[in-house]
Structure 1
Amino acid sequence: MVDNAADVDTRRILAEHPSAPDVLRLERNTGYAGGIAAALDDVDTEFVAWLNDDAVPSPSWLADLEAAAGPATAAVTSRLLRPDGTVQSTGVELTADGHGRDLAEPAATSPGATPAPFTPSPAPFGFCGGAALVRTRALRDVGGVPAEFFCYYEDTDTSWRLRLAGWDVAAAATDVHHRHGASTRPGSAAFHRWNERNRLLMLLRCAPAGVALRELARFTVLTAVLPLRTLAARRRPGVRPGPAVPDAANFDPRLRLRVLADVTRRTPWTRRTRRDITRRSTVGRGSLWRHWTGG
């Protein structure tokens, strides 16, 4: 059990729990990514399961995932269902602008109904870290889990590195009920900051250099343009001012400047880890990008 700088009550529960878990206590909260990274050295099983604390699997979940893992499979993803029974994710796809996006099949149920049987679609680019099984040796061989990410995009980054190393990712016919974002509140400033920052860090580590620099430049230019759009909207004579930009935290120039500062501070780390990823790769970044994005 990784104690991610938990409070006193949580530590008491751990101390009194009848399973008497071994506790690895961290001095600060390192997030989902940091917690998995901290525990990885102590894992001695063939696979390591990733499961969010707001996700509830079926009793056969692990067996279903293991059954779907062939000898060349490094990770198996589950089908994640929202509380109303609609599908949140059947894996992760790679978009043309470098986002990792949940693959979601059309909902086959009405709210509250029993989900339809799940037939896995063709292998996704990556696994969703909310509920997945990852081969321990493969994970270690590609550099482990990026603890720097704290949370979000650690699964897509790991999928990138596994595929660059020649491993496959599969989907299993098993359902997990998930209260997405129960602890991070999707739409919050922290949520968007982690997502925007980690997407850029992932691209700088894993994607073809031209793609990574293009997306970093786009992010930077839009950050500079947003205040000008707002100013122009306020100065238009005779026009009632309206929202110049979408009302979302990831369009706040201050948040975006913080993201750029975070990325800049991590430049030595991204350069060093990119070289390490290249050394471990057996598949070219460009060929992988073209195959999964068509770009």
Structure 2
Amino acid sequence: MRVEIVIPNWNGRDLLAAVLPTLADQTFGDQLIRVVDNGSTDGSVEYLQAEWPGVEIVAFDTNRGFAPAVNAGLRAGESEYVALVNNDMELEPQWLERLVAALDAHPDAGAATPKQRSAKDRSRLDGAGDALLRTGAPTRRGFNQPDTGQYDTPERVFSACGGAGLFRRAALQDVGLLDESFFAYLEDADWGFRAQLRGWTTVYVPDAVAYHHGGATTGRVPGRERYLIARNHIAFLLKNYPTPWLLRSSPLIVAGLGHMLLTAAREGQGRIVARGWRAAVRRLPATLRDRRAIQARRAVALPALEAAVFGRPTVNGTLMKRLIEGLWLERAIQAALRATGLGGVPPAPATTPVGPPTRYDVGPFTLDAALRYSAVIDLLSDHFHPQVKILEVGSGAGGITEFMPFPVTGLDAAFDRTEGNATPYLTRVQGRAQAMPFADDEFDLAISVEVFEHIPQDARAAALAEMVRVTRPGGRIIVTFPSGEAARRCDLRLNEAYEARYGQPHPWVIEHIEEGVPDTEAMRAVLAEQVGPGGTVTVHRHANERAWLFQQLVYSAREKFLLTFALGLHFKPGARLVFRALRGRNAEPAYRTILVADLAPRDSR
């Protein structure tokens, strides 16, 4: 028997009548079904004996909980794989076949988890594998979202749902069984974390589909689910988080716990959460004993573990940005930056200019806009109208077009790797900055924001010459790039911390270091030669070193901690230093240079 299916049950006779037929219809036939009954009084055992004689039964006299029931079912067998199925699930016929195929194809995977949809509204997701937030809270990916195919790609996830997942027995023997002290809730995430610490991964299989009714058992006892989650969450964190993670993430964890309490209080259940936490404190000695044993058996280096557990931050969606954006801290940071002039954020007019244009409304203030684009926006005051034909070199997924409500041509050699447009007004053209596929004098304005540091040194002059070639006489060119000692210091510190932590160079900073950040005077000289006797080239210094570092600290969940370590900052002392930098330390070296070239008119070019 390759697969044993374990179903914990407590007074779920009607639920068994729904789930067992879907197991009988599975296309994978080499299976045995085992129901572990937790002292049911609704005739569940009698129903199984009468209607499902092929189902193996393990019966308890009392309700011992979900985790003890599962463990009893696991100990009773010896198959290669074990599926854990809640009694409130319904399964598509190929659910088991596809999970088995996934584990066969991934010998390093300790578990496989399906796509779960809501049984009440089958167009909505119930979960697409489990993830772990930086606040320390396990969560179901996509929970209650419409299923539009956003989770149709097989991938590695943090852990498998214990309600319809398939587990490798070798992994169970290595990691251990479920923690029976949890009774119910988070025991599957706890096992998944322990598996990650031992080097076992979890694969998400989107074409294996299960339907979940949800809360059909513990929902019968008011407040029980919230109490168990509050209690077990503390043990989950203390047992599994490596010590550096606990120290580093303590503010986020405290914030997450505060959110849990406030949410419960709004629903009149704050006392239930507090009672769960008190129970967790009483169990603290046993939890710490478990922690010592688990951490002593950790077999994965912390950088690799972090990549496996948290994955890569999403584009424009890092946790730190989500936590602060639109909240009081974001508003405080905005006020501090505006007051000190760091980034030179322009005030936005209430409406789009009519008549002679001045400056387009750049929309909501963000730190990224303050330090990357705001000074450029200032320099475009007479170019923000639809009659101006604009080229952005290295536009990526949007770039400057985020601030423009009219067409812009974007040149980028890597459009196949970008993730959508930030604006519908961008026309994408693939090509190289050193050899542009455009006619002479085609554009009124050519912009390049932080691209030249990624171009080899010996090709930078050719790229500048190309920007001049495609810009009409009397037009304008704006080029921004990190430069000087401030940029070199930042790059070296960030890369050193990244390499020490992740065992490899930082993916884009290493380009700056290997190629060398652009030299301001050399770039200015090339442009000055191109613009002609009647043209001008001006140099602007922008975004001082601390302002740039602070923006990175806030906006990048991954680099936040790297930069913290690189600067020798640690939370409270670090926060004091960072906010001290917001008091107008504008005498510090600038991180970025902006070159503005106004080309000579045709008659003097």
Aligned residue number for residue 435 of structure 2? none
State the Cα RMSD in Å: 3.2
1:58: which partner in 2?
92
Determine which structure has more spread, i.e. the larger CA radius of gyration.
2
- Where does the alignment leave 5 or more consecutive residues of structure 2 unmatched? 1-34, 311-557, 562-605
1:54-75 superposed Cα distances (whole Å, 9 cap, x missing partner): 1101111111101111111110
Cα deviation for residue 102 of structure 1 reads 0.6
What code does the residue aligned with 1:80 have? Q
Q: CA deviation at 1:216?
A: 11
Output aligned runs, 1:196-275, within 5 Å.
196-209=230-243, 212=246, 214=250, 218=254, 246-250=265-269, 252=270, 254-275=271-292
Is 1:72 matched with 2:108? yes
Of 209-218 and 86-95, the range deviating more from structure 2: 209-218
> Structure 1 127/245 Cα, relative in aligned 2: closer, same or farther at 3 Å?
closer
Alignment partner of 1:26 is 2:60: yes
CA contact (8 A) 2:92 2:209 kept: yes
Instruction: Note the residue ranges of structure 1 that are not aligned, 5 or more in a row.
Output: 110-115, 227-243
Aligned to 2:133: 95
Question: What's the secondary structure of 1:56's corresponding residue?
Answer: strand
- Determine if contact 1:93/1:126 at 8 Å carries over to the other structure: yes
Q: 1:191 to 1:221 in 2, by over 3 A?
A: closer
Q: CA deviation at 1:290?
A: 6.4
Using the TM superposition, give the Cα deviation of residue 96 of structure 1 relative to its aligned residue in structure 2, in angstroms.
1.0
Partner of 2:146 in structure 1?
107
Deviations 1:261-295 (A, max 9, x none): 22123223212222221233201467624653446
Question: Cα deviation per residue 1:57-110 (whole Å; 9 max; x = unaligned)?
Answer: 11111111011111111100000001212112110111011000111185246x
What amino acid sits opposite 1:88 in the alignment? D
Q: Name the counterpart of 1:283.
A: 300
Identity, % of aligned pairs?
28
Seen in structure 2, the aligned counterparts of structure 1 residues 249 and 127 have a Cα distance that, compared at 3 Å, is farther
Instruction: Determine if contact 1:189/1:249 at 8 Å carries over to the other structure.
Output: no
Which residue of structure 2 aligns with residue 231 of structure 1?
Answer: none
Alpha carbons of structure 1 residues 18 and 257: separation in structure 2 relative to 1, 3 Å:
closer
Which of 22, 34, 43 lines up with 1:9 in the alignment? 43
CA distance in 2 between counterparts of 1:98 and 1:86 reads 25
Specify the code of the residue in structure 2 equivalent to 1:248.
E
* 8 Å CA contact 2:88, 2:214 repeated in 1: yes
Identify which of 174, 177, 184 aligns with 2:218. Answer: 184
Say whether the 8 Å CA contact 2:264–2:273 is kept in structure 1. Answer: no
Q: How far does the alpha carbon of each residue in 1:121-179 deviate from its partner, in whole angstroms, 9 at most, with x for none?
A: 43111112221101112012112111111221111111101111001110112111111
CA distance, structure 2, for counterparts of residue 56 and residue 43 of structure 1: 23
- Alpha-carbon distance in 1 for matches of 2:277, 2:74: 30
Tell me: CA distance 1:245–1:104, structure 2 relative to 1, closer, same or farther (3 Å). closer
What letter matches 2:136 in structure 1?
G
Aligned 8 A contact 2:161 2:188 in 1: yes
* 3-state SS of paired residue (1:68): helix
Q: Which amino acid aligns with 1:74?
A: G
Measure the CA separation in 2 of the matches of 1:288 and 1:186. 38
Moved more, 2-11 or 60-69: 2-11
Question: In the alignment, which residue of structure 2 is the partner of 1:81?
Answer: 117
Task: Give how far 1:188 is off.
Answer: 4.5
Deviation for aligned residue 1:215: 7.5
TM-aligned CA distance change 1:126 to 1:217, over 3 Å: closer
Q: 1:187 to 1:4 in 2, by over 3 A?
A: closer
Q: Which residue of 1 aligns with 2:327?
A: none
Q: TM-score, normalised to structure 2's length?
A: 0.41
Q: Distance in 2 between matches of 1:55 and 1:117?
A: 22
CA–CA distance in structure 2, aligned partners of residues 87 and 8 of structure 1: 31
Q: How many residues align?
A: 269
1:187/1:248 contact within 8 Å kept: no
2: distance between equivalents of 1:286 and 1:216?
19
**What's 2:153 paired with?**
120
Displacement of 1:246: 4.6
- Distance in 2, matches of 1:255 and 1:140, equals 35
User: Which has the higher relative contact order, 1 or 2, with Cα contacts under 8 A spaced 6 or more apart?
Assistant: 1
| 1:72 partner amino acid | D
- In structure 2, distance between residues paired with 1:37 and 1:215: 35
Aligned pair partner of 1:140 in 136, 156, 173: 173
User: In the alignment, what sits opposite 2:78?
Assistant: 44
Q: 1:26 to 1:160 in 2, by over 3 A?
A: same
Aligned to 1:150: 183
Q: Offset at 1:222?
A: 5.1
SS at the partner of 2:156? coil
Q: Cα offset for 1:245?
A: 8.2
Contact 2:136 2:256 (C-alpha < 8 Å) held by counterparts = no
Shift of the alpha carbon at 1:181? 1.7
